[in-house]
Amino acid sequence: MTDIRSVSPTLVQKAGQIACRACGHELAAAGEGWKEHAVLDEKPLGDAGGAMFRSEGNVLLRRFYCPSCGTTLDAETALPGEPFLIDRVDWS
């Protein structure tokens, strides 16, 4: 039996790999950054959250998609050139 653990609402860990929960596509080895292996869509945050939450300046909205099925895996805000936020889960 393969040990499958929940990493986030969109990701699971199975057989030492971080994988898309929706389609099972393996993105990276557990403990490595998976975002580098996802499809990145990066654009100015602007009024993505609606006019009430309009962001001035150069804040970016980054969305990470599964390269296999297109599911949105995660999203974050960042300034240009900032590294990806790293989510690490350690069960040891």
Stretch in the footprint of Zn ion (CB under 5 A) among 7-15, 32-40, 50-58, 69-77? 69-77
DSSP secondary structure code for residue 7 in this structure: -
- 45 or 62: CB nearest Zn ion: 62
Q: Which residues 6+ apart lie within 8 Å of 46 measured at CB?
A: 54, 55
Kindly state whether residue 7 participates in binding Zn ion, applying the rule CB under 5 A.
Answer: no
Give the C-alpha separation, 86 to 43, whole Å. 19
What minimum distance in Å lies between the beta carbon of 24 and Zn ion? 7
Site track for Zn ion across 12-31, x = CB under 5 A:
--------x-xx-x------
Does the CA dihedral 3-14-88-29 come out positive or negative?
A: positive
* Positions in the binding site for Zn ion (CB under 5 A): 20, 22-23, 25, 66, 68-69, 71
